[in-house]
Amino acid sequence: MKEKTLVADIDRAFYDFRYDEDEKNFLESGITPEIIREISAEKGDPEWMTEFRLHSLDVYNRLKMPQWGPDISGLDMDRIVAYIRPQKRMQSDWNSVPDDIKETFEKLGIPQAERESLAGVGAQYDSELVYHNVRREVAESGVVYTDLESAMHDERYAELIRSHFMKLVPPTDHKFAALHGAVWSGGSFVYVPAGVHLEIPLQSYFRLNAKGAGQFEHTLIIVEENAYLHFIEGCSAPKYYEASLHAGCVELYVGKNATLRYSTIENWSKNMYNLNTKRAAVEEGGKVEWVSGSFGSHVSYLYPMSILNGRGARAEFTGITFAGEGQNLDTGAKIVHNAPETSSYMNTRSISKSGGISTFRSSVVISENAVGSKSAVSCESLMLDSVSRSDTIPSMVIKTDKADVGHEARIGRISDEAVFYLMSRGLDENSAKALIVSGFAENVSKELPLEYAAEMNNLINIEMKGSIG
Amino acid sequence: MSELLKITALKVAAEEKEILHGVDLAISAGETHVIMGPNGAGKSTLGAAIMGSPEYTVTGGSIVFDGADITSETPDKRAKHGIFLSFQNPTEIPGITLSSFLRSAYEQVTGEHIKLFAFRKKLQEAMDVLQMDKAYADRELNVGFSGGEKKKAEILQLLVLRPELAILDETDSGLDVDAVKTVSAGIKAYKEQTGGSLLIITHNTKILEALNVDKTHIIADGRIAAEGGAELIDEVTANGFDKFI
């Protein structure tokens, strides 16, 4: 049988529209103290934030580029535009959003999703949020969903932000965390008060339209005791030949007996370097559920981390990565068990085709005091042809003998036998392979919030002939 | 009667090694043929080669089905012509339910769209013939099925897809007495409902009891060693293959 793969690449044409940017809105490229001060002034930062940015820049200049993962030498930091002035301040009325931006999000189906299935929506275009809105009943329950900038200037939240911002992911964590601390802009602040169960999700959508730019949004979510939140994050960008950079940061604080489900669909274009940092701290009896779909970008480094700080805290990570031609996606998850009777479960699938590289890294740390903890990791990889690559790099550090830890990894190629079996029932080679791939991904893809975000339907366009299901 | 399948001087190799050394076989529409022979004689190879398995290479001869030369057609094209192979070891396909898979297979071989409700009804009728628990429809294709369940699922596909020629590769092997009865009933139902042809590769005569066998072929060492009617089956049952080797 031919070694050729006929499963279609993810159809990204849908995302590939763009609008011309007025370049006078671009700050100069590169990262210098002058540029940082300019961003800070532009945004009207409080003084502590200006200092925080400058301090982060110092750290950034001291730290080295990571050497242990995919090559990022194509990323010229002197050419990345860190900040693009918004055309207009953030709006909470959709009609007031500038037309080209409005059209962008309408094409992506965001307003429709908001009407149909979301409790609140935030939309970021390049560096700043252009739209933010929550349903009235949600706001009345005390839930806060706004951009970080507004919250920082609101005396009700200013202290909360100062005491949580980049405390889970300090700028010293790694070079791109430091960069983020220096140039961050946009993102979301979500606060769910104790006991509030938000049944319908909130969604933020990040769109990087400008070429050669960086997007550095910061998401800070605090879910108090006994509360529940499902937060969805979607990202996309049109394709340019210049490298773009996404170095966002997500910090999640999950209170006692609270649950936070955080779903991400990343579909950056293939010129994007996606160097994103996500971390959650979970208190006693609380739970964080990560659902992560990584489809886009040229290079990704993405390993959401859960720190289980309270007794009985839990973390679940469900992820799927699809690396096609020219993509090197290095993804995974980290779990730190820092208290007794904590538990974690990681379940991932990765697919590589047409020379794509997908690497799965898992890290489980069980500290001395995490007595009676449990962790299970299961990862499976599927390579669709002989030119693609898949690696699994597990790491486990277990400091108590009173823990139960399991790891299961499977790497395989699509089996000729299975393809023949399906073809013998009338499916052509293309459809047979597509069926095997979607079956392989099913376990994980059913967790993705398909029913919420309208643009999701266009994410995996594996050409299925005949109707499946 | 017109010839449905005509195999002429067929030579088949697996990884350079020739397994079939020139086989001739013709099946007319509506006939039931049986292939018997010792282990390793090439019986399953013949079935797989007719279906177009990528494991084997045809190095000589031809396969003509319904007047069309299908020797180098892909398996899906052969399925669309009306050939079906019941696998000895059906592959497990995780994440896809038996029902959704079979519905898309049905649409492929018939070229018609079928509404879910109409399909489920059709599927249910076939499952009733095989006394299958309807929960199987929503289980992942062959995943975790026992040997007997896998064979029943193959016959289920046969009943739904209604091919013109069904090749059954040791469908009875590893089945207990009750399961053989159920599977036989399924094969009989296929025959009655469609009037299709059968090519049954078997070691066991139990599965043949409910069927009228038109012709028996004994394969030994990659060649047809003997041919005859149903009486040949009794001879093999009584005396084994020694005289054909």
DSSP structure string for B32-47: EEEEE--TTSSHHHHH
Closest partner CB to A423 (pick from B74, B96, B103): B74
DSSP structure string for B173-200: TT--HHHHHHHHHHHHHHHHHH--EEEE
Does A158 lie at the interface with B, CB-CB under 8 angstroms? no
Q: How far apart are CA B144 and CA A135, in angstroms?
A: 47
Taking the C-alpha atoms of B101, B105, B111 and B116 in order, what is their torsion angle to the nearest 10 degrees? -30
* Residue of B85, B101, B157 to mutate for A, most A C-beta atoms under 10 A: B101
φ, ψ for residue A117, nearest 5 deg: -145, 15
Q: Which pLDDT score is estimated for A443?
A: 72
In the chain, the amino acid numbered B202 is T
Q: Is B15 helix (H, G, I), strand (E, B) or coil?
A: coil
Q: Which pLDDT score is estimated for A8?
A: 47
Decide if B55 is inside a domain: no
Does A411 lie at the interface with B, CB-CB under 8 angstroms? no
What does the pLDDT look like over A307-344, one tens digit per residue? Answer: 999 999 999 999 988 898 899 999 999 999 999 999 99
Closest partner CB to A467 (pick from B54, B80, B104): B104
Q: What is the mean pLDDT of residues B27-32?
A: 96
CA distances from A13 to A10, A222, A268, A373, B53 (A): 9, 36, 12, 46, 36
Residue A399 · residue A405 · CB < 8 Å: no
Closest partner CB to B79 (pick from A417, A426, A439): A426
Residues 6+ apart with CB under 8 A from B96: A435, A438, A439, A442, A468, B140, B141
Decide if B148 is inside a domain: yes
Would you place residue B198 in the very low, low, confident or very high pLDDT band (cuts 50, 70, 90)?
very high
Sheet containing strand B165-169, strands side by side? B83-86, B165-169, B197-201, B32-36, B215-220, B223-228
Q: Is B77 helix (H, G, I), strand (E, B) or coil?
A: helix
For chain B, list residues whose CB is within 8 angstroms of any CB belonging to chain A.
Answer: 51-55, 74-76, 78-80, 84-85, 87, 90-91, 93-97, 100-105, 107-109, 113, 140-141, 157, 161
Q: Which pLDDT score is estimated for A89?
A: 66
User: Degrees (nearest 5) of the Cα angle B140, B89, B218?
Assistant: 150
* Residue of A425, A430, A445 to mutate for B, most B C-beta atoms under 10 A: A425
Residue A397 · residue A366 · CB < 8 Å: yes
Closest CA to A126 of A212, A215, A203: A215
Question: With 90 as the cut, is the pLDDT of residue B238 above it?
Answer: no
Q: Which pLDDT score is estimated for A4?
A: 35
Residues 6+ apart with CB under 8 A from A77: A30, A31, A179
Does A378 lie at the interface with B, CB-CB under 8 angstroms? no
Q: Which pLDDT score is estimated for A324?
A: 86
Residue A210 · residue A243 · CB < 8 Å: no
Query: CA of B86, closest CA in chain A: separation in Å?
Result: 9
Q: Is A428 helix (H, G, I), strand (E, B) or coil?
A: coil
Cβ–Cβ gap A426/B76 under 8 Å: yes
Closest partner CB to B74 (pick from A418, A429, A439): A429
Question: With 50 as the cut, is the pLDDT of residue A242 above it?
Answer: yes
pTM of the predicted protein model: 0.82
Q: How far apart are CA A383 and CA B158, in angstroms?
A: 31
* Residue of B45, B56, B88, B104 to mutate for A, most A C-beta atoms under 10 A: B104
CA distances from B14 to A46, A364, B171, B226 (A): 75, 46, 23, 24
Residues 6+ apart with CB under 8 A from A13: none
Query: CA of A5, closest CA in chain B: separation in Å?
Result: 16
φ, ψ for residue B97, nearest 5 deg: -80, 155
Beta bridge partners of A390: A358
Q: What CATH number did the domain enclosing B187 receive?
A: 3.40.50.300
Cβ–Cβ gap A435/B93 under 8 Å: yes
Task: Give me the number of domains chain B comprises.
Answer: 1
Closest partner CB to A420 (pick from B53, B80, B103): B53
What does the pLDDT look like over A376-415, one tens digit per residue? Answer: 999 999 998 889 999 999 999 999 999 999 999 888 888 8
DSSP structure string for A19-77: ----GGGBPPSS--HHHHHHHHHHHT--HHHHHHHHHHHHHHHHSPPP-SSS--TT--G
Closest partner CB to B94 (pick from A423, A440, A467): A440
Query: CA of A1, closest CA in chain B: separation in Å?
Result: 6
Q: Tokens standing for A217?
A: 């949004």
Q: How many CB pairs under 8 A join A and B?
A: 98
* Residue of A410, A422, A467 to mutate for B, most B C-beta atoms under 10 A: A422
What does the pLDDT look like over A100-143, one tens digit per residue? Answer: 777 777 776 667 766 666 667 777 777 776 777 777 888 889 99
* Residue of B65, B89, B96, B140 to mutate for A, most A C-beta atoms under 10 A: B96
Q: Is B14 helix (H, G, I), strand (E, B) or coil?
A: strand
Q: How far apart are CA B140 and CA A439, in angstroms?
A: 9
Q: Which pLDDT score is estimated for A45?
A: 94
Question: With 90 as the cut, is the pLDDT of residue A55 above it?
Answer: yes
Decide if B23 is inside a domain: no
Query: CA of A444, closest CA in chain B: separation in Å?
Result: 10
Residues 6+ apart with CB under 8 A from A307: A168, A279, A280, A281, A282, A336, A338
Query: CA of B83, closest CA in chain A: separation in Å?
Result: 8
Q: Which pLDDT score is estimated for B192?
A: 95
Cβ–Cβ gap A439/B95 under 8 Å: yes
Q: Which residue of B has its CA nearest to A417?
A: B91
φ, ψ for residue A322, nearest 5 deg: -125, 110
Highest mean pLDDT among A19-28, B121-130, B200-209: B121-130
DSSP structure string for A277-343: EEEEEE-TT-EEEEEEEE---SEEEE--EEEE-STT-EEEEEEEEEE-TT-EEEEEEEEEE-STT-E
Domain boundaries, chain A: 13-458
Decide if B59 is inside a domain: no
Burial A416-443 (b: 16+ CB within 10 A, else e): eebbbbbbbbbbbbbbbbbbbbbbbbbb
Decide if B73 is inside a domain: no
Decide if B20 is inside a domain: no
In the chain, the amino acid numbered B234 is D
Q: How far apart are CA A49 and CA A68, in angstroms?
A: 31
φ, ψ for residue B46, nearest 5 deg: -60, -45
Q: Which residue of B has its CA nearest to A464?
A: B104
What does the pLDDT look like over B60-76, one tens digit per residue? Answer: 999 999 999 999 999 99
Cβ–Cβ gap A429/B76 under 8 Å: yes
Burial A333-358 (b: 16+ CB within 10 A, else e): bbbbbbbbbbbbbbbbbbbbbbbbbb
CA distances from B11 to A204, B20, B24 (A): 63, 5, 10
Q: Tokens standing for B5?
A: 């399948």
Task: Collect all residues of chain A within an 8 Å Cβ-Cβ radius of residue B107.
Answer: 466-467
Provide the domain limits for residue B124. Answer: 31-50+82-244
